[in-house]
């Protein structure tokens, strides 16, 4: 049996889009993640939510992915930011309209706290639009610092924003 010195980590990502052909951005992002060394293990349903933080913009589609990768956290961040850029993301307005946003929600059980990246995503427990799709693929996964399952976090999430399954 071949032995690999590279350990594969299960990582949970959230894709979001509220500009252009939102579903096409998701498909292209998954293709680029695969090309960058990620294996898509599971994907949630697609959900639609009103914009959060800056509300005077179109509704978002969101989808969670579980990917397996040998990339280290900052390498994965570089890949996700490169994909956002390739697909036309402009970072001009905080929480503004975007073709594609890729958030690293969880990186295995690791805690990463650098100026560039914080994992687990610090706002995950407060965002229904992230927890609902994440619960599709990892309801029983235990958050590494809060020691509560994703479904448990969803049950007590303070965010009241409606998250509806998107009908294609």
Q: Is 164 a catalytic residue?
A: no
Contact present, 105 and 153 (Cβ < 8 Å): no
Give the separation between CA 89 and CA 124, rounded to whole angstroms: 22
Backbone φ, ψ for residue 165 (5° rounding): -60, 135
Nearest C-alpha neighbor of 78 from the set 36, 133, 34: 36
pLDDT confidence band for 2 (50 / 70 / 90)? very low
Residue 164 predicted with pLDDT over 70:
yes
Q: Is 91 a catalytic residue?
A: no
CATH number of 9-160: 3.30.70.560
| 4-36 per-position pLDDT tens digit | 446 899 999 999 998 888 899 999 999 999 999
Q: Is 98 a catalytic residue?
A: yes
Q: Please tell me which residue in 31, 59, 101, 164 is annotated as part of the active site.
A: 101
Which stretches does DSSP call E strand in 18-161?
38-43, 47-49, 60-69, 101-107, 112-113, 118-119
Strand partners, 13: 65, 104
| 64-123 per-position pLDDT tens digit | 999 999 999 999 999 999 999 888 755 555 555 567 889 999 999 999 999 999 999 999
Contact present, 104 and 76 (Cβ < 8 Å): yes
What's residue 37's pLDDT? 93
Structure tokens at 113: 């706290």
- Of the two residues 87 and 40, the one the predictor is more confident about is 40
Query: How far does the chain reach from its first CA to its final CA, in angstroms?
Result: 43
Contact present, 154 and 135 (Cβ < 8 Å): yes
Domain spans, the chain:
9-160
Q: Please tell me which residue in 22, 103, 127, 136 is annotated as part of the active site.
A: 103
Give the separation between CA 50 and CA 40, rounded to whole angstroms: 27
């Amino acid at each position: 049996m071949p032995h690999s010195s590279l350990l594969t980590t299960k990582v949970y990502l959230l894709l979001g889009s509220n500009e252009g052909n939102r579903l096409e951005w998701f498909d292209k992002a998954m293709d680029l993640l695969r090309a960058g060394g990620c294996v898509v293990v599971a994907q949630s349903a697609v959900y639609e939510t009103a914009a959060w933080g800056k509300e005077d913009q179109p509704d978002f589609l969101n989808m969670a992915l579980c990917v397996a990768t040998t990339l280290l956290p900052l390498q994965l961040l570089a890949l996700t930011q490169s994909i956002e850029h390739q697909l036309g993301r402009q970072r001009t307005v905080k929480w503004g309209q975007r073709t594609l946003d890729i958030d690293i929600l969880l990186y295995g059980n690791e805690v990463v706290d650098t100026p560039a990246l914080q994992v687990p995503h610090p706002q995950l427990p407060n965002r229904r639009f992230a927890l609902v799709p994440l619960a599709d693929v990892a309801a029983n996964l235990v958050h590494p610092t809060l020691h509560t399952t994703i479904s448990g976090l969803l049950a007590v999430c303070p965010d009241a924003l409606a998250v509806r399954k998107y009908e294609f």
